[in-house]
Chain A
Amino acid sequence: MTVTRRQGLMGLAALGASPIALSATPALAQAASRAETLRQITGGAINTLDPTMPGTTRESFGLSMNVYDRLVAFGRKQVNGNWVFDNTEIRGELAERFEISADGLTITLHLRPGALWHDGTPVTAEDVKWSLDRHVSAKSLAVSQFQTGSLTSTEQFRVAGPGVVVVTLDKPDRLALSNLAVTYAIMINSTLAKKHATDDDPWAQKWMQTNTAAGGAYKVESFRPGVQAVLTRNEDWKNGPLPFFRRVISQTVPEAATRANLIEKGDADIAIDLQTSDIASLESRGQVKVASIPQTNGFTHISFNTRMAPFDNPKVRQAIAAALPYDDMFKASLFGRGRKLYGGDWTTPPGIDFPQPMPVKQDLDKARALLAEAGMAGGFATTFSFGASTAATAEPVAALVQEALGRIGIKVEIQKLPDAQLNTLQAEKKLAFYTDSGTAWLPATYYFFFLYFTRDQRWNFASWENPRIAELANAARFERDPAAYEAQCREMITILADQMPLLMLWQPNMDAVMGKAIEGFTYQFYRQVDFRDLKRA
């Protein structure tokens, strides 16, 4: 060592004196492809390339729709000038066409001739059979989803010749075909996947978390879990119109304010999870385009634990329903950006769509009377909980609930819980009174009731047991007569409106904020961006 301490110090001082210029880097080399590149920024992160893995984030669902094909896909329709998915119109994706037998027990799928996997090998009926077998056999989220379509055993899937797969059902399940279109129902290049299968892991689940065996519209160019994923267009894709964007970057930017800045400056193209409070000001400055679409397959609710006193008494639930200031909550929580699910005016439901506005409104006298009828005129004390990640929208609701119920003598303590803790308490049925939200991928009325209002399971938010609802939901599932199905749905909605195990509040808007030149955004059932829909004008 010849450098003395003094020289070292002088060196440091010299370093400090040299200015480091602060300026934007010119990206000349990339400029040519920028117009054909879509940059999406998200608050959450993509954590797996296999959407059936437990713990898959919603962002990963979105990625998988672009990378993997399913046998069939939902169509889309225009509602109030915005595109929204349409689960009543099912079209072929990897399957060119399909037929359903008259008794509804057999679905025959004809694969698209000439369809290729990303590695260039042809798609075969055996690949499809292997993929379907995986979804009912491997330990994954697909198993329980497929059960809702009565798809439970590998024996139900049969190769019936080159490019033909037959699915057979024991009962004519209303949602069997729809289940082949959901996010989990990915079609996998089985030859490739099997190479990476092991004795412990016969379905190559470990390998597929960070690799793909797909054939969809986009290929994964690079993937860094929790940071970003880069996709390139699959030029040989034949299962739909070739997407506009050649390259897609999906990047995680955790800070909402930074996401808003990036979109407004035009450095990023689309974001769907900005803060509601930012969106109005972004809109007013006019640098961006906002598509506000009610999340038609979701709902925000206030749930009672119907197994826990005093909420086991329907009168108490009805009293609270009559005490809440719905309009104030809607404005404070969402700035009115959504569709109301309260304030309906009916005794028999006007339609069988669900969720629909339920007949509740604020009426304090009625609330006090009902509370007195329940023998609790003096009120009681309870806690109202919500998850920390929903605090921006749930906190105003909680404050208003506390204030309104105070006026009829119910003392409410507000409890904000970390999400993992809320979920655990929810699954253990230990929450008394709380707000949360739910989404059904397949927005059929019976499916909502089956998922959210029957059985002893986590998604039965109110832990509600109503034998008639269980009976109706199970009957509606296999009902072939449209008139009978309609009557069953109507009765379920009527019972719900009367018993009030939970209070439907609203469907929040999905606010997709994008550059002015981006067109074609579609609200999808999995609440993510389908890059295939988008183009730059």
Chain B
Amino acid sequence: MRALGRAGRHVGGRLLAAIPAVLGVLVLTFLVMRVLPGDPAVYFAGGPSAGQAEIDALRAEMGLDKPVPVQLLYYFRDIAGGDLGRSLTTGQPVLTDIRQRLPASLELTFSALLIALLAAVPLGILAALRPGSAVDHLVRFLCTMGVCMPTFVTGLLLIYVFYYLLGWSPDPTGRLDIFAATPPEITGFLLVDFALTGDGEGWRAAATQLLLPAATMALFVLAPLARMTRASMLAVLGGEFIRTARAMGLPGWRIILVYALRNAILPVLTIAGIVFSTMLGANVLVEKVFSWPGVASYALDALQASDYAPVQGFVLLMASIFVVVNLVIDLLYGLADPRARTE
């Protein structure tokens, strides 16, 4: 119970400490958006016969006719009230847009990270067990390929092979076959929603739809995870306690999975956290290629149109997620290595 209370205080403290950083990011984004050339009022009052009057009216409606510091104050007031503004690109409140799109991005990123970890950790271990061998070189080759192929190339290639040539994969647009029924929205995660409603066929459909984009993303992040596992395993495997374990005649898998991996997993967790945050925002290309209705492509569309509110909302979201992910990783440290708990 005392341990739980201490953990709670720790979490609370961390969250409080993150507030100044998030605020700083918000102010910076706000200013950068306004410094960038490109006037959203001009862009959106783009009807074939719209003139200066329409542009001015729109500017006033968006509050852009006021001085920037005043705009910033209004912006903070709105955020405090939970209002992230309205997107001109979609015509909806930004909060609604994000609520609809975030589960899509999260589902994709979680799946990709899971696939990447399931592939990278065993590969990294194999490479570390036989450094310099053919296996090691194969892993190195795979990682290099994954990193140097841009994600949209991998994506288009996978679509070409698995959809266009072989016809194994469903058409690569969106989260679900366009003609299929969507599950009732419970969590927004299709796999979870289908599982909750017990719709096996729907779950399968959503999973096959998810597989190609998730594999594309996984390939890209395979390298940092596998290389980190290898390096960290190499260091640990040379340790005295491993030699002792071997001398005591413990079974090989037990030494590797229980004693070595557990000690080697900390840096991998750190990298996994960073990779996760990066994937969520930076894999806009995967979302574009697979018509995935996620937050990253939403932010990019808004940015191209100088649509301030969605970009600011997206940055706020990313900053918050980054804070939470870092916290979760820290808590996971404690699970993996009791020494990390004693702060």
Contact = CB atoms under 8 A, between A and B. Distances in A.
A440 B48 contact: yes
A439 interface: yes
A267 B174 CA distance: 14
A24 B169 contact: yes
A131 interface: no
* Most interface-central of B57, B89, B122 (chain A CB within 10 A): B89
A66 B42 CA distance: 28
A323 interface: no
Interface string B154-181: 0010011011100111111110011110
A34 B53 CA distance: 47
B325 interface: no
B208 A227 contact: no
A261 interface: yes
A388 B305 CA distance: 11
Contacts of A441: 48
Interface string A331-358: 0000000000000000000000000000
Interface string A404-439: 000000000000001111011101000000000001
Interface in A1-32: 5-6, 9, 12, 15-16, 20-25, 27, 30
A55 B44 contact: yes
Contacts of A265: 163-164, 167, 171
Nearest to B254: A6
Interface stretch (B23-31, B32-40, B76-84): B32-40
A476 B261 CA distance: 84
Given A265-B163, A419-B43, A451 B55 contact: no
A427 B55 contact: yes
A22 B162 contact: yes
A255 B38 contact: no
A141 B48 CA distance: 9
B194 interface: no
Interface residues of B, number: 74
Contact of B178 (A12, A39, A53): A39
Interface stretch (B9-17, B226-234, B296-304): B296-304
B131 interface: no
A122 interface: no
B5 interface: no
A451 B47 CA distance: 12
B297 A261 contact: no
A361 interface: no
B54 A420 contact: no
* Most interface-central of A21, A255, A268, A421 (chain B CB within 10 A): A255
B40 A252 contact: no
B43 A262 contact: no
* Most interface-central of B88, B179, B205, B293 (chain A CB within 10 A): B179
B51 A420 contact: no
A253 B173 contact: yes
A147 B51 CA distance: 11
A145 interface: yes
B228 to A, nearest CB: 17
Contacts of A23: 168-169, 208
B49 A262 contact: no
A447 to B, nearest CB: 10
Nearest to A144: B49
A76 to B, nearest CB: 21
A6 B46 CA distance: 61
A25 B49 contact: no
Interface string A138-175: 01010111011000000000000000000000000000
A439 B173 CA distance: 31
A84 B315 CA distance: 46
A276 interface: no
B34 to A, nearest CB: 13
A55 B46 contact: yes
Given A209-B91, A227-B174, A25 B180 contact: yes
A75 B180 CA distance: 37
Given A22-B208, A258-B289, A420-B306, A458 B100 contact: no
A227 B90 CA distance: 10
A451 B49 contact: yes
Contacts of B51: 144, 457-458
A427 B42 contact: yes
A39 B207 CA distance: 23
B50 A54 contact: yes
* Most interface-central of B119, B164, B288 (chain A CB within 10 A): B164
B204 interface: yes
Given A226-B89, A421-B37, A253 B291 contact: yes
Contacts of A148: 49
Contacts of B257: 6, 9
* Most interface-central of A34, A39, A249, A418 (chain B CB within 10 A): A418
B289 A55 contact: no
How many chain A residues sit at the interface, stated as a range, is 35 or more
Given A34-B179, A258-B289, A48 B91 contact: yes
A420 B306 CA distance: 6
Contacts of B204: 21, 25
A362 interface: no
A235 B304 CA distance: 40
B291 A261 contact: no
Contacts of A418: 37-38, 304, 306
A177 B162 CA distance: 53
B282 interface: no
B145 interface: no
Contacts of B45: 54-55, 141
B143 to A, nearest CB: 18
B258 interface: yes
Interface in B319-338: 335-336
B304 A420 contact: yes
Contacts of A254: 288, 291, 297
Contacts of B290: 255, 258
A444 B16 CA distance: 64
A480 interface: no
B262 interface: yes
A488 interface: no
A419 B89 contact: no
Contacts of B293: 224, 226-227
B235 interface: no
B61 to A, nearest CB: 8
A27 B180 contact: yes
Interface string A34-59: 10010101000101100001111000
A457 B55 CA distance: 11
B21 interface: no
A255 B291 contact: yes
A450 to B, nearest CB: 10
Nearest to B40: A420
A262 B306 CA distance: 31
A79 B211 CA distance: 46
30 contacts: A5-B262, A6-B257, A9-B257, A20-B208, A22-B208, A24-B167, A24-B208, A25-B170, A25-B208, A27-B180, A45-B301, A139-B61, A141-B49, A144-B51, A144-B53, A225-B91, A226-B90, A258-B289, A262-B173, A265-B163, A389-B304, A419-B43, A419-B304, A421-B306, A423-B38, A424-B42, A425-B37, A441-B48, A458-B51, A459-B49
Interface of B: 36-40, 42-55, 57-58, 61, 88-92, 97, 100, 118-119, 122, 152, 156, 159-160, 162-164, 167-174, 177-180, 201, 204-205, 207-208, 211, 257-258, 261-262, 288-291, 293, 297-298, 301, 304-306, 335-336
Given A25-B201, A458-B55, 19 more contacts: A6-B258, A16-B118, A22-B169, A24-B168, A24-B208, A25-B170, A45-B89, A47-B88, A54-B54, A139-B57, A226-B293, A227-B174, A261-B160, A389-B304, A418-B304, A420-B38, A423-B38, A441-B48, A457-B51
